[in-house]
Amino acid sequence: MIGSLSRLPVETALDDGMRLLQELVEIRSPSGQEGPAVNHLVEWMARRGFAAHRDAAGNAIGILEGPSGNGHGPAREIVLLGHIDTVPGFPRVTVRGGKLYGRGAVDAKGPLAAFAVAAAMLGPLPGWRIVVVGAVEEEAATSKGARYLAQRRKPDMVVIGEPTGWHRVALGYKGRLLADVTIQRLLSHTAGPESSAAELAVAFWNCVTQRVAALNAGRTKIWEQVQPSLRSICSSDDGMLETVQMRLGFRLPLDVTPDQIKALLVACDERVGIDFKGEEYAYRAEKNTPLVRAFLNAIREQGGEPGFVVKTGTSDMNVVGPVWRCPIVAYGPGDSSLDHTPNEHIALDEWRAGVSVLAAMLRHCLLN
Q: Which residues are catalytic?
A: 85, 138
- Say if residue 346 is exposed, middle or buried (CB neighbours under 10 Å; 0-12, 13-18, 19+): buried
Q: Which residue type is seen at 332?
A: G
Residue 79's nearest CA partner among 46, 42, 119, 110 is: 119
- Say if residue 352 is exposed, middle or buried (CB neighbours under 10 Å; 0-12, 13-18, 19+): buried
Residue 291's nearest CA partner among 249, 322, 315, 326 is: 326
Phi, psi of 53 (to 5 degrees): -160, 170
Three-state secondary-structure class, residue 195: coil
Q: How far apart are CA 90 and CA 79, in angstroms?
A: 29
- Say if residue 297 is exposed, middle or buried (CB neighbours under 10 Å; 0-12, 13-18, 19+): middle
Assign residue 230 a region (left: φ > 0; alpha: ψ between -120 and 50; beta: otherwise): beta
Three-state secondary-structure class, residue 80: strand
Over its C-alpha atoms, the chain yields an Rg (Å, rounded) of: 23
Q: How far apart are CA 24 and CA 101, in angstroms?
A: 12
Q: What pairs with residue 168 in β-bridges?
A: 307
Q: How far apart are CA 180 and CA 244, in angstroms?
A: 11
